[in-house]
Structure 1
Amino acid sequence: MPSTSNAFPGFPGTTLCGPLREPRQMLAEQSYDGHLSIHDDATAGELGLRAGPIEGPTHFSQFDPLLAGLFGQAWFETGCISVHYQNMVVEGETVRAFVTPPTNGQQVAHIWAEKSDGTPVLKGTASIGPVPDAAHEIPQRIAKLRPPAGLVINHDLTVGQCGAQAETITMGFHQHMGNYYPFSLADKLKVITEPSPWYTLEGDTLSPWGRAIIPLEMISVLLGSTVKLAGFSGRGPAVGLFAGQQIRLLKGPLFVDQAYDLQREIIALSESARTESAWVRTRVFEAGTQEPVAEMILNSATLKHSYANYEADARALGLIT
C-alpha cells in the first residue's frame, strides 16, 4: 500500500510515496539499424556511460499502485502519465515513486521518481479522464520548443509526416517482441516491480474487465515493437534514447492477445546541444475500427556524437563551414 506524509490522499500537502524498488534491465540485447543500443553496456561505455541504462517507461509500474489508490479503477481505463526523463538508472540502483495529488479543484497530479540517494529520475504529471493535453508535462514542453537551427540526423524528416505503412500489433504472453524488445510479456512479468494478478494468464477471471491487461510500461513495448515500419529513422547509424514520454488511455485498458491498429505522426522536431529529437504521436485503435483506445507521445532523441558522419553531413548541408 502507498504511504503518505503530512495528510491523507487528496488533502492539500499530501505526498504519496512508494517503496524503493530495483528495476531490471531487459534491453541489453536490443538492436536496430544493425547495431546494439544504448542499453548495451559496451555501447553505453563508448558513449561515456558507466553501464547500459534501464528503459525509462520501466519506472511507470511503480506509479500504478499510487495512482490506482488515488484515482481508483479509472486509472487503468482513462489514465494519462506524462514525464520528462532526467537521469538514467542502471541495474542495481533503487528507485522510489512519488505523487502529489491534485488540490484546489485541479485535475492533474504531479509525479516524480528518485534514486535512493535523491538523484532525480523523472518528473511529470498524471490524471484520469478528459483533461486537456496542455495540462500535461510533454505537451507543455512541446509548446515551448524553439524551431531547430539546423537538423542533420533528422534533416530528412518533417513535421506532419505520417507512418509509411499500416501497422497492426498484438502482445501475447509468450510472444517475442522483436529486435527492439527482445523479450516477452511473460519474461517481463517475472521481474516487474509491481506484480498484479490482472496481468497474468488468469486475468480473464481475476481482472475487473474479464481479460488479462497489458501493464502500462508494456504499452510502450507494444507500440514500439513495430516502429521501424513507420519510416521515421534519421541518418545513421546512430544511438538514441527516450527523453520524454506520454501514454494516455482513452478507452482502456489494453488487453493481452488483442489486435490494435496504429497511426503515427511526427508532431515536432527539435534539437539541443547534444541531441536531435523527433516527437512522435502514436494513436491506437481497436483493429479494423476507427475506435481510439489509447495514444502515446514519445520524444525519441538521438545523440549527435554517436553519428560518425555528423560533421561531414552538417558541412554538406551548409550548416557549418
Structure 2
Amino acid sequence: MSFATPLYLCGPLREPRQMLADQQYSGHTSIHDDSMAEKLGFRAGPIEGPTHFSLFVPLLAEIWGQAWFERGCFSSHFQNMVVEGELVRAFVERPAPGTTRVRAWAEKADGTPVLEASASLGPDDGATLLDERMAKLRAPEKLVILSGLYVGMLGAEDEKVRMDAEQHMGDLYPFSLAQKLEGITENSPWYSDAASTPWGRAVIPLEMVSVLAEYTSKQAAFPVKQPVIGLFADQEIRMIDGPLFVGEDYLIRREIVALSESKRTESYWVRSRIYDASGETLKAEMLLNHATLKHSYADYEAEASA
C-alpha cells in the first residue's frame, strides 16, 4: 500500500544553552547580554541562531549519512529569538529517494517558529533558501551605518584560523569547543574522538563552523560605523570538501555579496570562503546576513537626514 502523504522527521524538545552573555565586540556588550537586549526592546539576551543548527544534524545524518558531513548545506532564515529556558524542536521533511533538497524548520514548544531552512546535498542541489531570499532583495534607499560598504568589497586580508578542542575562541565567542560540547544539544563522539570518525579526525560541529568562520572576522576590516548592535538574520553553511576538522589550519577570504535594508535594520551579507591552509582548496562556505539595528547607532537620525 502506498500513500502520497508527506512525512517528516522530528527531534526531541531540547533546551539550548546561552553561551554568549559575555560576548563583546567594538568595546561593548552584544545583544546576547540581558541588559543590552532589554535596552533594545527585547525581553532577554537571545541564544545565538546557529546554536539551533545542532538540532538538525541527527535528522540530516539519518537521511544522507556520511555524505551530509562532507557535502551538506544548511540554509536558514531566523524568525523568532529563543532565550535560555525555552524548549525547541527541529523538523525535517523526509525526502523521496534521490532528492537532494528538503524543507526544515524549528519551533518552540508552543509552536512559535524559530527558523525556516532548506537542507541540501551538493554539489547539484540547486538554489537554497537564502539564494531565493537574496534574489528578492531590493536595493537599499540610503545606507547610514553601512554607507562605506559596497557589493564586491573583499576582506582586507586572508585570515588564518583553526579550532583546537581547548582553544578559547575570543571576545566574540568566549568559550572553547570543549566547553561547548558540555552543553551542546546533540553531542556525538565524532566531535571529540578522532578514532570514531570515518576520516580519522575529530569533526567541528555544524554550529561551531559559524564560530570558526567569525573568529577572525574583525580582520576583514569592513567599515561598519560604530558603536552599533547587530544580529544574525540569515545564515547558510555549506560543506564543499568537508567536513572541517578540529586542530586543522584553514584560511578564510571574505566578500560582501549583498546589501539590504528594512525599517529597523541595515544589512550586509558576507560570504566567507574557508580554504585549506594553502589557500588552494575550497573546503566550505558560510553566507551570513549581518543585520545592524538602526536605533542602536546614536547618530543614525542626524546622519540619515543630512
TM range (shorter): over 0.9
| Contact 1:270/1:276, CA 8 A, preserved across alignment | yes
- Secondary structure of 2:254's partner? strand
Query: Which of 232, 250, 256 is the aligned partner of 1:242?
Result: 232
| Map of 1:181 onto structure 2 | 173
Counterpart in 1 of 2:20?
27
Displacement over 4 Å in runs of 4+: none
Asked if 1:153 is matched to 2:176, the reply is: no
Q: How does 1:248-263 map to 2 (within 5 A)?
A: 248-263=238-253
Q: Please say if 1:18 is aligned against 2:21.
A: no
Deviation at 1:103, TM superposition (A): 3.6
In structure 2, relative to structure 1, the CA distance for the partners of 1:240 and 1:165 (3 Å cut) is same
CA offsets 1:171-205 (integer angstroms, 9 cap, x no match): 001101111111100110000000100111xx221
Q: Is the 8 A contact 1:101 1:108 kept in 2?
A: no
3-state DSSP class of the match of 1:113?
Answer: strand
**Structure 2 stretches lacking a partner, 5+ long:** none
> CA separation in 2, counterparts of 1:154 and 1:87?
24
User: Which letter does structure 2 place at the counterpart of 1:151?
Assistant: L
Aligned to 1:219: 209
Closer, same or farther in 2 for the Cα pair 1:86/1:272, shift >3 Å?
Answer: same
Q: State the AA in 2 paired with 1:43.
A: M
Partner amino acid for 2:24? S
**Whole-Å Cα distance in 2 between the matches of residues 64 and 37 of structure 1?**
28
Residues in 2 aligned to 1:221 and 1:244: alpha-carbon distance in whole angstroms: 15
Return the alpha-carbon distance in structure 2 between the equivalents of residues 242 and 68 of structure 1.
25
Residue identity matched to 1:194: E
**39, 42, 51: which one pairs with 1:46?**
39
Contact 1:12–1:103 (CA<8 Å) still a contact in 2?
A: no
SS across alignment from 2:285: strand
Q: How does 1:108-127 map to 2 (within 5 A)?
A: 108-127=101-120
Amino acid at match of 2:80: N
Q: Deviations over 1:89-137 (max 9, x none)?
A: 000000000001334864211000000000000001001121355x211
Gaps of 5+ in 1: 1-6, 317-321
Aligned residue for 1:278, secondary structure, equals strand
- Give the TM-score, by structure 1 length: 0.92
The amino acid of 1:78's aligned partner reads R
In structure 1, which of residues 133, 141, 160 is the aligned counterpart of residue 133 of structure 2?
A: 141
1:292 equivalent to 2:285? Answer no
Of 87, 93, 102 in structure 2, the residue corresponding to residue 94 of structure 1 is 87
SS at 2:231 equivalent: strand
Q: How far apart, in 2, do the equivalents of 1:67 and 1:104 lie?
A: 14
Task: Give a deviation string over 1:131-165, Cα, whole Å, max 9, x none.
Answer: 355x2111111111011011111011010000011
CA–CA distance in structure 2, aligned partners of residues 138 and 118 of structure 1 = 23
Aligned partner of residue 302 in structure 2, secondary structure? helix
Code of the residue aligned with 1:305 in structure 2: it is H
- Which residue matches 2:159? 167
Structure 1 residues 282 and 184, CA gap change in structure 2 (3 angstroms):
same
Range with bigger deviation, 204-213 or 32-41: 204-213
Identical columns (%): 60
Name the aligned partner's letter for residue 29 of structure 1. Answer: D
- Secondary structure, aligned partner of 2:224: coil
Decide which of 73, 78, 87 is 1:85's aligned counterpart.
78
* Contact 1:268-1:280 within 8 A present in 2 as well: yes
